[in-house]
Amino acid sequence: MKITKVQVIVHCPARNFVTVKVHSDQGVYGLGDATLNGRELAVSKYIEEYLTPSLIGKSPFDTEDIWQFFYKGVYWRRGAVNMTAIGAIDIALWDLKAKLLNVPLYQLLGGKSRNKILTYCHGHGTSFEDTIEKVLEKKEAGYEAIRVQSGIPGLDKIYGMNTKKGAKYEPAIAAETPFEEEWDTSKYLNHVPRLFEKVREAVGDEVHLLHDGHHRLTPIEAARLGKELEPFHLFWLEDLVAGEMQESFRLIRNHTTTPLALGEVFNTMFDCKTLLEEELIDHLRMAVSHGGGITPMKKIAALAELHHVKISPHGPSDISPIGIAAALHLVTAINNFGVHEYMGYEEQTLEAFPHAFKWEKGYLHLDETPGLGVDINMDLVDKYPYKKAFLPVNRLTDGTMFHW
């Protein structure tokens, strides 16, 4: 059995996606998600020029050896572009392998550890009132876990806030250069505990509430926020400080019992080794596509299990249904799953990627479709050409460049 051809598809059905299609001499193909929001063409070119030629003629069953070949063979290891490219190939090979064996992918990863996958959605608003309304709507729709972000008085355009009442949150903006947002940490720190006090009062104790700090605090600021939110029993506080500084979490951990989540920008085991080994976080948020694929994520999940850390994958709309399905199969098979983010997709994206997984009453469900259970509609590829789009950048109100 041999790999005969690799196609890299870049298109924009509502937003940009990069998809890898690996063909075999059996007439069956596997799909992988290579989307890296705002840097799509760097990954597609990388796969076409540097990975594809080495794949032709290899057996699609040799997922471990192929992963090691690309990981060790690059010399310049790690990094988001490199690991997303390797991850997409790895996901496609696992999809292909499971299709050839005629089983859903989770059967090759340990079988079923659960019947359905808990999800959280976004309850975002412009003000306290608007946010509470959103959170109640999501609760009504069946979500048991809701991420809460809201506008901050005095700041016009910030992370996680909808620009208009009722609009869907989409961070990437089509343009030739990135859009600029603004930030003020003290306004944020004063606002968030008040927000959660009101939301908890409105929604009751049953719903899990989450919040994303998007890497903007210093360790001591993060410790203060965690401590002040303790009375509202959050499910987690996500990305409080920049993920590069794993050691920062020692200080935060010593000050608060609020559970901590981190890792959507991580791409290897080495980004979270200290966090796991010292039990500094509760949830690891790596996406399968950005984390180098199923092959390394299985190992990372095993290390996390040893340290009481749950795998709770990143699931924004800038990860395609292929990447989401890869995570769903992984978390179906492992024991230490926490929660999966699910924002849903625009109509055009759903049309572009027909898929078997379904969202119902707060949970995602897989069926018995062999492989990942996701396809790509090739007839729509030319209809939706790539449009350059960027994630925003961020400055303090005095103009200083800051974290986004």
* Catalytic annotation, residues: 159, 214
- Residue 43 CB burial class (10 angstroms; 0-12, 13-18, ≥19): buried
| H/E segment holding residue 368 | none
Q: What are the angstrom distances between the C-alpha of 24 and each of 105, 233, 367, 382? A: 17, 50, 24, 24
Q: CB 147 → ligand GCO: shortest distance, Å?
A: 7
Residues that bind ligand GCO (CB under 6 A): 37, 171, 212, 214, 264, 314, 316, 318, 341, 391
The residue number with the shortest CB distance to Mg ion is 212
Q: Report the helix count and the strand count for the chain, using DSSP H and E.
A: 12, 18
Q: CB 264 → Mg ion: shortest distance, Å?
A: 5
Q: CB 240 → ligand GCO: shortest distance, Å?
A: 12
Residue 391 partner contact from Mg ion, ligand GCO, none using kind-dependent CB cut-offs of 5 to 8 Å: ligand GCO
Distance, first Cα to last Cα, the chain: 45
Does residue 301 contact residue 311 with C-beta atoms inside 8 Å?
Answer: yes
Residue 318 partner contact from Mg ion, ligand GCO, none using kind-dependent CB cut-offs of 5 to 8 Å: ligand GCO
Q: CB 168 → ligand GCO: shortest distance, Å?
A: 12
Q: CB 314 → ligand GCO: shortest distance, Å?
A: 6
Contacts of 380 (CB under 8 A, 6+ apart): 11, 13, 348, 351, 352
Does residue 34 contact residue 20 with C-beta atoms inside 8 Å?
Answer: yes
Pick 50 or 169: Cβ nearer Mg ion: 169
d(CA 9, CA 19): 5
Q: CB 161 → Mg ion: shortest distance, Å?
A: 14
* Residue 379 CB neighbour total at 10 angstroms: 9
d(CA 360, CA 87): 28
Residues paired with 147 in a beta bridge: 122, 210
Q: Which two tokens stand for residue 73?
A: 């063979």
Pick 23 or 214: Cβ nearer Mg ion: 214
Does residue 133 contact residue 141 with C-beta atoms inside 8 Å?
Answer: no
3-state secondary structure of 360: strand
d(CA 397, CA 404): 14
Residue in 342, 343, 286, 289 with CA at minimum distance from that of residue 309 = 286
Q: CB 182 → ligand GCO: shortest distance, Å?
A: 17
- Half-sphere exposure of residue 56: CA atoms within 13 angstroms, side-chain side: 10
Give the pairing type, strands 363-365 and 389-390.
unpaired
Does residue 263 contact residue 274 with C-beta atoms inside 8 Å?
Answer: no
* Residue 129 CB neighbour total at 10 angstroms: 12
3-state secondary structure of 349: helix
Residue labelled with tokens 């990372």: 300
Residues that bind Mg ion (CB under 5 A): 212, 264
Pick 105 or 241: Cβ nearer ligand GCO: 241
Q: CB 160 → Mg ion: shortest distance, Å?
A: 8
